[in-house]
Structure 1
């Protein structure tokens, strides 16, 4: 049985809610990822994605100096690193998310799992297909 820590990426960056969306976009571009957890006072308080920036900022005519807190998503979903891979697949499918923050048992951010991780690594293409089918269903 594979656990989430077997396939998660440990290179995860957190952004401050007081950072600008331009800073978030640059970090996403430079790191080649589309979502970042938002952290304040050593806690994850939400996330910001490339889609949040496009839909909640650009589409509404907000400027590049808009604060992350003004466009981020609340209600962050996560999983524990020692849980089975199927748990990540289930959460990603149920909540229709493509990137899932991973925490240790003391709730410290230790990594992130992306849909691509499920397909490329040991989890196998069937896990990715299952998650993608659920993620892609109309809400």
Structure 2
């Protein structure tokens, strides 16, 4: 993908205030948080307040409900995946590259070892020219 020529950093384009779900919380709690926050993914943080992964609404459906697992007895930490993140001071090119390389649609943003926000497709849609956004979407969904 060619370099976006907009000079913005990950911290400039993210939506701030990403709420973590604890790694020992149940999947039901995670689902309720997603509902209340109107989001489809949550970062998972450990007792040390450090990022452990991310969980999506799809993870809960496919890896718990469809498998007949207990929403209250399964913790978010058991399904944690995707320990991919970007530093807040990284340029937008790095964020795009990580999202494309890992074929992910949401990317946690870290500053001083703590999560400070998330970059989503909607955030990119506000920043990228249509042609760059189309190229990004094609690359991320190519293997889906």
Return the TM-score normalized by structure 2.
0.87
Which runs of no fewer than 5 residues in structure 1 stay unpaired? none
Give the equivalent residue in structure 2 for 1:122: 127
Instruction: Give the whole-Å Cα distance in 2 for the aligned partners of 1:99 and 1:12.
Output: 11
**In the alignment, does 2:25 pair up with 1:48?**
no
Provide the secondary structure at the position in 1 that maps to 2:43.
strand
Task: Return the match for 1:8 from 10, 14, 34.
Answer: 14
**In the alignment, does 2:88 pair up with 1:85?**
no
Instruction: Give the whole-Å Cα distance in 2 for the aligned partners of 1:14 and 1:37.
Output: 5
Instruction: Give the whole-Å Cα distance in 1 for the aligned partners of 2:132 and 2:32.
Output: 31
Task: Return the match for 2:29 from 3, 23, 27.
Answer: 23
Query: Deviation at 1:3?
Result: 1.2
1:97–1:90 CA distance, 2 compared to 1 (3 A): same
Task: Return the match for 2:41 from 30, 35, 38.
Answer: 35
Instruction: Give the whole-Å Cα distance in 2 for the aligned partners of 1:5 and 1:124.
Output: 19
Aligned length: 136
Q: Given that residues 115 and 131 in structure 1 are in contact (C-alpha distance below 8 angstroms), is that contact kept between their aligned partners in structure 2?
A: no
Instruction: Give the whole-Å Cα distance in 2 for the aligned partners of 1:27 and 1:136.
Output: 26
Provide the secondary structure at the position in 2 that maps to 1:60.
coil
Give the equivalent residue in structure 1 for 2:3: none
1:33–1:54 CA distance, 2 compared to 1 (3 A): same
Which runs of no fewer than 5 residues in structure 2 stay unpaired? 1-6
Query: Deviation at 1:95?
Result: 0.2
Provide the secondary structure at the position in 2 that maps to 1:12.
coil
Q: Given that residues 109 and 116 in structure 2 are in contact (C-alpha distance below 8 angstroms), is that contact kept between their aligned partners in structure 1?
A: yes
Provide the secondary structure at the position in 1 that maps to 2:16.
coil
1:54–1:30 CA distance, 2 compared to 1 (3 A): same
